[in-house]
Chains A and B, each alone.
Chain A
């Protein structure tokens, strides 16, 4: 009895975490005070709900950024896109307008995607910055189809 309880506690501590450490620079955005601002939305979906879109993880943050924050966010996205296997992006006024990046897949074969859009670069727009990180087996085209429903 005296040996069983410590063993059980050790087993509990060894259980894997659901949201694994991905080591991306954009991780600094999620769970930060940015989500508490007026007009901000942060979404985290895993498991059953994410599986409907062929994903195991969906994480996004939409927020109104200051000039400094915009530059900082863009630098995070640039740092993470360095290892992308494919990308599609556009610039406006020397700034990154939008970017869709497929990052290096995980060892277990799951795809990883980083999407970015700077709505604040649109003329006359009170747009926002949106950063999305996704993991799953769906391709970008499949994701577009599923999210358009």
Chain B
């Protein structure tokens, strides 16, 4: 007949329960007591209190361990929100800054409706426009000034 190691003298188990409540048990004894309380022999109602306390303690131990592990390996939801806000802000600021830079540095020409953005070509168009307007032939001539004066008299 196989001996059930969790059975045995009830008084010895009662003594162990007493020692558990007085915090005098070793971890090994606690493990023995836990196995006994899980077995059919330890299912008696008079062990309900110690079973409840051991269960509560085990649960609390498990909960206190888990957050530390989570903290080590995974950032909290608040940290994720802060990181997302920072990234979003940085992205918006960068886009806005780039947009402002592009708007403040424009170099474009429309030649017969065709958009040209090559700075060399645009600069050439710019110089051509300026020189055509303020070239030597646009310098005031005697004829031009006289015409201007007479025209002014005729059309005040």
Contacts and interface: CB of A to CB of B under 8 A. Distances in A.
Interface of A: 1, 4-5, 8, 11-12, 15-19, 35-49, 58, 60, 62, 88-92, 94, 97-98, 100, 115-117, 119, 130, 132, 143-144, 147-148
Nearest to A115: B133
B56 to A, nearest CB: 38
B4 to A, nearest CB: 60
A130 B131 CA distance: 11
A1 B81 contact: yes
A88 B140 contact: yes
A132 B123 CA distance: 14
Interface of B: 81, 84-85, 88-89, 92, 96, 99-100, 103-113, 119, 122-123, 125-134, 138, 140-141, 144-145, 147-148, 151-152, 154-155
B87 to A, nearest CB: 12
Contacts of B89: 4, 8
Given A36-B113, A62-B129, A130-B132, A92 B144 contact: yes
A41 B148 contact: no
Lowest 3 A-B CB distances belong to which pairs?
A47-B105, A36-B113, A18-B103
Given A12-B96, A97-B144, A98-B138, A130 B107 contact: no
A8 to B, nearest CB: 5
A147 B144 contact: no
B134 A147 contact: yes
A43 B147 contact: no
Given A8-B92, A98-B133, A60 B113 contact: no
A9 B152 CA distance: 55
